[in-house]
């Protein structure tokens, strides 16, 4: 009896040892990058949720860079993954879009299924749709004036309050304009606030992925489904009332495509497209503005340079109250440097996911088909070999580099390759206009807050509260 029991125990030990070995040594038709797969099933997921109160590279990534080098393997949430902190390797991955990699974002899986049977021309088509409505010509013709009116109206409201929390009010402002241009959103028609659903969804993205009632992640999924429900009803309603000779917003552009002879989208696909564009449009703007105001408040030299730049614009006008022109926007060179430096140091988009659709050979390593690939912009933006004193906020480092830095291998706040964000200029214009008014028509004083915690991104646990005052 004892012999049989010992034999069973031995078999279990051998079996478990084999499972652990297979976990730590995944199948690969070549050589995997160095790294650890962590614990069976859990991988290294728990280590990923460490946080810090600085803008440095996330501790999870930094420790593994020091141990394994710029490209390494791990397992997160039971998914094998390659993490790249190398600018050249990351650039290569972006260039493989539609060849050997594809987008891999969990909350857009349904949209991906809608278009995955199509070739990469669908992504070019969507990009052209977005550029047609939010690109440079539209910015010049109509959006510049609308952004100015939006900024004037909102900042005037801020100035009448004892203090405002910057992230909250800039989110309201950016969401208001984006939702208006996308689908003419009118909050008064709905019992629940769509903006609150989106912000709830975003907060859950940085939580431990436990889909259990009461957890932040569970609320994240609920908020996402509620938002999708509202957007889907909008698409259905517009589909039934669409008039081809009257286009009010971007949803009309989508519906026009759906009404064509060979439509790319159904209701679900159109809903996810709206969801993705709206999510990208307001969060980047609000978080970047909040960080910029924090950095500017803490640096008198930057504050002085910006004040001079914007006051000089007014001095050159015949009428100081004239609307902002495109030429004036393009003359805001130091403002552009401040925005670029905020994007670099703040790392608004800390993770970019792709998935290998076939084995990829690069630098002596193999990325197996089906593995996820995580490009880590913070490690690239904070590389001391590319940026002197990388943790120092220094807008002057961008002087003389022009606008080409937006698509540099070493600067990727708006993505890269075929998925370079089509709304980058839209975001920069809106931020520049808000800063213009804060340096000309108004002034602000920091009241409290401004501390940050970094996990998957930057959050302000105590907010950033300022007092906005109209110039006399």
- Digit-coded pLDDT (tens) for 222-252: 888 899 999 999 999 998 887 766 668 899 9
Looking at per-residue pLDDT, the higher value among 67 and 456 belongs to 67
Asked if the model's pLDDT at residue 192 lies above 70, the reply is: yes
Handedness of CA 85, 206, 175, 467 (dihedral sign): negative
Q: What is the pLDDT of residue 107?
A: 43
Output the pLDDT for position 324: 96
Give the CA distances from residue 43 to residues 40, 47, 107, 290, 393, in Å, rounded to whole numbers and listed in that order.
6, 9, 21, 35, 35
Please give the Cα distance from 48 to 34 (Å, whole number): 18
The verdict on residue 419 lying in a domain is yes
Q: Mean pLDDT over residues 165-194, rounded?
A: 90
Identify whether 63 is part of a domain.
no
Q: State the number of CA atoms in the 13 A half-sphere of 234 facing the CB.
A: 28
Asked whether the predicted pLDDT for residue 288 surpasses 80, the reply is: yes
Residue 184 has pLDDT above 60, yes or no: yes
Using DSSP's 3-state secondary structure scheme, residue 409 falls into: coil
**Residue 28 and residue 16: Cα distance in Å, rounded?**
21
- The pLDDT confidence band at residue 332, using thresholds 50, 70 and 90, is very high
Within 413-463, strands assigned E span 442-449, 453-454, 458-459
Which of 51, 110, 113, 57 is closest to 83 using CA atoms? 57
Range of the domain at 414: 118-347+390-470
Neighbouring C-beta atoms of residue 205, cutoff 10 Å = 16
Mean pLDDT of 74-96: 91
* Mean local confidence (pLDDT), 15-22: 56
User: Which element (helix H / strand E) includes 367?
Assistant: strand 365-367
What would the mean pLDDT of 55-62 be, rounded to a whole number?
A: 93
Indicate whether 416 belongs to any domain. yes
Q: Determine the Cα–Cα distance for residues 316 and 312; give it in Å rounded to an integer.
A: 6
For the chain, give the percent of residues with pLDDT over 70: 87
Measured CA to CA in angstroms, residue 334 lies from 64, 152, 308, 317, 414 at distances of 36, 22, 10, 19, 20
Question: How far is it, in rounded angstroms, from Cα 470 to Cα 472?
Answer: 6
Which class for 410: exposed (0-12), middle (13-18), buried (19 or more C-beta within 10 A)? middle
Cα 467 to its chain centre, rounded Å, is: 28
- Start-to-end Cα distance in the chain: 95
Measured CA to CA, the distance from residue 374 to residue 367 in angstroms comes to: 12
Range scoring the smallest mean pLDDT among 12-26, 179-193, 195-209, 325-339:
12-26
Q: Is residue 358 part of a domain?
A: no
Radius of gyration of the chain (CA): 24
Q: At residue 10, does pLDDT exceed 90?
A: no
The total number of structural domains in the chain stands at 1
Position 39 in a domain: no
Stretch among 101-110, 133-142, 178-187, 305-314 having the lowest mean pLDDT: 101-110
Element (H, E) at 71: strand 71-76
Count how many Cα atoms sit within 13 Å of the Cα of residue 348 in the half-sphere of its side chain: 27
CA angle in degrees (0–180, nearest 5) for 70-346-393: 100
**Mean pLDDT within 161-173:** 96
Looking at residue 140, the DSSP 8-state letter turns out to be I
Residue 332 located in a structural domain: yes
The reply to whether 51 falls in a domain is no
Residue 28 among known ligand-binding residues:
no
**Interval 120-139 mean pLDDT:** 78
List the one residue out of 26, 136, 8, 6 whose CA is nearest residue 74: 26
Question: Residue 116's pLDDT band (boundaries 50, 70, 90)?
Answer: very low
Most confident residue range from 25-39, 85-99, 143-157, 215-229: 143-157
Neighbours of 437 (CB within 10 A): 18
Res. 127: pLDDT tops 50? yes
In this predicted structure, the answer to whether residue 129 has a pLDDT above a threshold of 90 is: no
Q: For 329-335, which contacts have Cβ atoms below 8 Å and span 24 or more sequence positions? A: 329/144, 329/429, 329/432, 329/433, 332/432, 332/436, 333/309, 334/305, 334/306, 334/309, 334/395, 335/306, 335/309, 335/310, 335/432, 335/435, 335/436
Instruction: Annotate 384-404 with DSSP letters as a single string.
Output: TTTSSSTTS--GGGGTT-GGG
pTM summary value: 0.90
Phi first, then psi: what are they for 21, rounded to 5°?
Answer: -65, -45
Q: Would residue 220 count as lying in a domain?
A: yes
Please give the distance of CA 301 from its chain centroid, rounded to a whole number. 29
Q: Please check the confidence at residue 119 and state whether its pLDDT lies above 70.
A: no
For residue 192, give the CATH number of its domain: 1.10.630.10
């Amino acid at each position: 009896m004892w012999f049989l029991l010992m034999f069973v125990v031995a078999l279990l030990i051998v079996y478990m040892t084999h499972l652990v070995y297979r976990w730590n040594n995944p199948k690969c038709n070549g050589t995997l990058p160095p790294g650890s797969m962590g614990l069976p099933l859990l991988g290294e997921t728990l280590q990923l949720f460490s946080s810090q109160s600085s803008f440095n590279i996330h501790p999870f990534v930094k420790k593994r860079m020091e141990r394994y080098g710029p490209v390494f393997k791990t397992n997160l949430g039971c998914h094998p993954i390659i993490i790249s902190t190398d600018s050249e390797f990351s650039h290569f991955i972006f260039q493989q879009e539609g060849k050997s990699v594809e987008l891999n974002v969990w909350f857009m899986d349904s949209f991906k299924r809608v278009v995955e049977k199509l070739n990469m021309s669908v992504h070019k088509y969507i990009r052209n749709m977005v550029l047609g409505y939010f690109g440079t010509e539209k910015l010049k013709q109509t959006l510049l004036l609308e952004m100015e009116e939006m900024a004037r109206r909102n900042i005037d409201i801020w100035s009448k309050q004892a203090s405002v929390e910057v992230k909250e009010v800039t989110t309201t402002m950016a969401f208001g304009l984006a939702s208006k241009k996308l689908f003419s959103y009118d909050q008064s028609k709905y019992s629940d606030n769509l903006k609150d659903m989106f912000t709830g969804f975003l907060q859950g993205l940085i939580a431990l992925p436990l889909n259990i009632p009461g957890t932040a992640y569970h609320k994240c999924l609920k908020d996402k489904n509620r938002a999708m429900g509202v957007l889907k009803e909008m698409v259905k309603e517009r589909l039934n009332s669409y008039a081809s000779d009257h286009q009010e917003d971007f949803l009309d552009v989508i519906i026009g495509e759906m009404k064509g002879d060979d439509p790319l989208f159904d209701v679900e696909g159109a809903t996810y497209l709206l969801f993705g564009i709206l999510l990208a449009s307001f969060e980047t703007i609000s978080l970047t503005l909040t960080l910029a105001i924090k950095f500017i408040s803490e640096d008198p030299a930057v504050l002085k340079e910006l004040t001079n730049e914007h006051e000089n614009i007014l001095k050159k006008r015949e009428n100081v109250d004239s609307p902002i022109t495109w030429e004036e926007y393009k003359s805001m060179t130091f403002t552009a440097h401040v925005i670029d430096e905020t994007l670099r140091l703040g790392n608004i988009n800390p993770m970019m996911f792709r998935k290998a659709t076939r084995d990829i050979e690069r630098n002596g390593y193999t990325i197996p088909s089906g593995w996820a690939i995580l490009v880590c912009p913070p490690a690239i933006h904070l590389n001391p070999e590319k940026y002197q004193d990388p943790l120092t906020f220094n807008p002057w480092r961008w002087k003389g580099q022009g606008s080409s830095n937006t698509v540099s291998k070493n600067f990727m706040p708006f993505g890269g390759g075929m998925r370079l964000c089509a709304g980058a200029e839209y975001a920069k214009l809106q931020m520049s206009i808000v800063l213009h008014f804060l340096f000309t028509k108004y002034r602000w004083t920091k009241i409290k807050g401004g501390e940050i915690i970094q996990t998957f991104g930057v959050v302000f646990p105590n907010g950033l509260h300022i007092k906005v005052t109209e110039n006399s």
